[in-house]
Amino acid sequence: MKKGLVWLCLLLLLSGCSFLTRKTALPIEWPKTIDSMEALCDLNMAWKDMHYSGSMSLRVAYPDAMQMEVYGPFGETIVYLKKTPQTFLLAAGDEKYVNEKAFEERFDISLKDFIDDLTLRGPVREGPGGLFVQRARYRVVYNLGERESKSCWEGIEGRICITFLEARFNGE
């Protein structure tokens, strides 16, 4: 009985520690043109049958390179995506994909459009709610203010929001 209680307390302590390292967003000054970006982010996703909320790191080199790692509650990588002009890898648990079509089928978003969306390229317009991009199957809404920097993909499949906690642009 005591041994089980000790393990339960240890588990609660460790799970509580994962929340202590959560960062707060710093003010981010967004450049007019983004050629490269390195960022620490929070990801909130309810898209199709995927639901997740947690941390991620992101690297983008426009127009065709990206690396993204999504972390579990104890800092372990649970999703890894790497795209270069020559290669593609999407790994989630035991599943590995080497074709961009896997990303596009899973999210109904082309990887090229996703990179364009992250770097504010393409048909960015300004509306009453701020900047946005309207695509055929979704809309990207940008909130790039001093208090919070967030990009959200909203579509019939759900919503994916990336809140940028820290970001460096164009080799800063």
pLDDT per position as a tens digit, 121-139: 989 999 988 899 999 999 9
pLDDT per position as a tens digit, 54-99: 999 999 999 999 999 999 999 999 999 999 999 999 999 899 999 9
Q: Percent helix, strand, coil in the chain (nearest 5)?
A: 20, 45, 35
The whole model's pTM is what? 0.84
